[in-house]
Amino acid sequence: MKKLFLIIGAPGSGKTTDAELIAKANDNITHYSTGDMFRAEVASGSQRGELIKSFIEKGDLVPIEIVIETIVGAIKKAPTAVVVIDGYPRSTEQMVELDNYLADEDGVELMSVIEVEVSEETAKNRIIGRAEEAEVARDDDSVEVFYNRMKVYTEPLSAIQKFYSAKDLHKVISGEGTIEEIVAMMNEFVNSKI
């Protein structure tokens, strides 16, 4: 039985960094980031990557069929019993699709959806900081694209919170502290559930 944790958070919330560190600290945990998986596909130069790029650079959501294939593929290929995926779900449609998949799949249990909560100001400052520090900045780390990414993230958020709260699977962790503080909280929480 695989135990699945999902991590959601605004652009700049630090969700991928947090999840990477948790996987590093626990041999039994594998981490995938939907954003990283899509960027890898773009970097491969495939036709599918070209299509994905056209959405990422605007801060829009990649089409649902590609997203579902990507996360189901990640869950299946994970070599450990505990899988942490950040960046999913990002729409009510994705949430419902996963729910249907899990209903038919006895081998995977959703343990929690962790929301890394940051203010819009913190998120924006981190994205701008990241763009300034990076040797090769991400195409979508500009102020203009940031506002669209924020809008795309925020729009379905209350429906997602409500859906998982009703299942007692919604957990909020503040993303405002230092990385060490946030990772310590998340690590303790994840380990309490496995």
Residues that bind ligand AMP (CB under 6 A): 11, 34-35, 38, 55-56, 59-62, 67, 87-88, 90, 94, 140, 149
Q: Which is nearer to ligand AMP, 108 or 145 (CB)?
A: 145
How far, in Å, CA of 194 to CA of 189, rounded?
Answer: 9
- CB 64 to ligand AMP: min, Å: 8
Q: What is the DSSP string of 164-181?
A: HHHTT-EEEEE-SS-HHH
- CB 192 to ligand AMP: min, Å: 25
> If you search the block for the tokens 């209350």, which residue do you land on?
158
Q: Which is nearer to ligand AMP, 139 or 191 (CB)?
A: 139
How far, in Å, CA of 113 to CA of 89, rounded?
Answer: 9
Q: Which is nearer to ligand AMP, 11 or 175 (CB)?
A: 11
- CB 182 to ligand AMP: min, Å: 16
Orientation angle between helical segments 34-43 and 64-77, nearest 10 degrees: 100
- The token pair that represents 130 in the structure block: 């990241």
Closest CB to ligand AMP belongs to which residue? Answer: 35
DSSP 171: E
Amino acid 25 reads A
- CB 10 to ligand AMP: min, Å: 9
Q: Which is nearer to ligand AMP, 35 or 175 (CB)?
A: 35
CA distances from 94 to 3, 18, 66, 173, 178 (A): 19, 22, 11, 22, 30
Q: Which is nearer to ligand AMP, 51 or 191 (CB)?
A: 51
N- to C-terminal Cα distance for the chain?
A: 11
- CB 59 to ligand AMP: min, Å: 5
How far, in Å, CA of 187 to CA of 178, rounded?
Answer: 14
